[in-house]
Structure 1
Amino acid sequence: MQPAADNLIPVTILTGFLGAGKTTLLNRILTEQHGEKIAVIENEFGETGIDNEILVQDKQEQIVEMNNGCLCCTVRGDLVRILKDLRKKKRGGELKFDRVIIETTGLANPGPVAQTFFMDEDIHKNYMLDAVITVVDAKHGNKTLDEHDEARAQVGFADRILLSKTDLVAETETKDLMDRMKRMNPRAQQNKVHFGEADIKEILDIKGFNLNAILEVEPTFLTDDHHHHDDDVSSFVWKDPRPMHLEKIETFLSLMVENYGEDLLRYKGVLNIKGNERRMIFQGVHMLMGGTEGKPWAPDETRESVMVFIGRKIPRKLFEEGLAYCVA
Structure 2
Amino acid sequence: ISIIASWSAASAFSSVPLTSNDKVPITLLTGFLGSGKTCTLQHLLENTDGIKIGVIVNDVASVNIDSKLIAGKTESGIVELQNGCACCSLADELLTSVNALLEDDTKRELDALVVELSGVADPMAIKANWKTASSNGHPVTEKACLSQVVTLIDASTFGTDWMSFDVAGDRSWAEKDDCAGHREVPELLAEQVEAANVLVLNKKDLAGPEQVQVASTLARSLNPDATMEEVEYGRVTPNTIVNKRGTKVRIAEDNKDADGIDDIDIM
Judge same fold: TM > 0.5, yes or no.
yes
User: Is the strand fraction higher in 1 or 2?
Assistant: 1
Match of 2:182 in 1: none
Match of 1:174 among 200, 203, 212: 212
Spell out, residue by residue over 1:21-41, the C-alpha distance to the aligned partner (whole angstroms, 9 max, x if none): 100111222343332110000
**1:108-119 counterparts in 2 under 5 A?**
108-119=121-132
The correspondence for 2:70, drawn from 51, 62, 66, is: 66
2:173 match: none
Q: Is 1:268 the counterpart of 2:259 in the alignment?
A: yes
Report if the CA contact (8 A) 1:111-1:265 is conserved. Answer: no
Asked if structure 2 preserves the Cα contact closer than 8 Å seen for 1:80 and 1:116, the reply is no
Deviation (angstroms), 1:136:
0.4
In the alignment, is the contact (CA less than 8 A) between 1:22 and 1:135 conserved in 2?
Answer: yes
Aligned to 1:36, what secondary structure does the other structure show? coil
| Cα shift at 1:173 | 2.3
> What is the SS of the residue equivalent to 1:85?
helix
What is the alpha-carbon root mean square deviation over aligned residues? 3.2
Q: Which has the higher contact order (CA 8 A, sep 6+)?
A: 2
Moved over 4 A (4+): 3-6, 264-267
1: CA distance, partners of 2:28 / 2:207: 27
Q: Secondary structure at the match of 1:186?
A: coil
Identity score, percent: 22
Matched residue, 1:75? 81
Contact 1:23 1:49 in 2 (8 A): no
> Structure 1 residue aligned with 2:143, among 123, 126, 136?
126
Structure 2, gaps ≥5 residues long: 1-17, 84-92, 165-184
2:197/2:252 contact within 8 Å kept: no
Q: Does the 8 A contact of 1:133 with 1:159 survive in 2? A: yes
Gaps of 5+ in 1: 57-64, 212-260, 271-280, 283-290, 292-328
Is the CA contact (8 Å cut-off) linking 2:26 and 2:114 kept in structure 1? yes
Distance 1:175 1:266, change over 3 A: farther
Aligned to 2:110: 97
Cα distance, 1:101 vs structure 2: 0.4
TM-score, normalising length from structure 2? Answer: 0.67
CA distance in 1, matches of 2:66, 2:152: 22
Mapped to 2, the partners of 1:185 and 1:14 lie a distance apart of 16
**d(CA) in 1 for partners of 2:198, 2:98:** 23
1:31 and 1:67 in contact (8 A); partners too: no
Q: 1:124: Cα distance to partner?
A: 2.6
How many residue pairs end up in the alignment? 207
**Deviation digits for residues 143-183 of structure 1 (CA, Å, limit 9, x no counterpart):** 22333121221001000101111122232321122111111
Deviations 1:176-226 (A, max 9, x none): 221111111111111101212111022122934278xxxxxxxxxxxxxxx
Q: CA deviation at 1:51?
A: 2.9
Cα-to-partner distance string for 1:4-26 (whole Å, 9 max, x where unaligned):
69611111110011101100111
Q: Verify: 1:54 aligned to 2:65, yes or no.
A: yes
Amino acid paired to 2:259? K
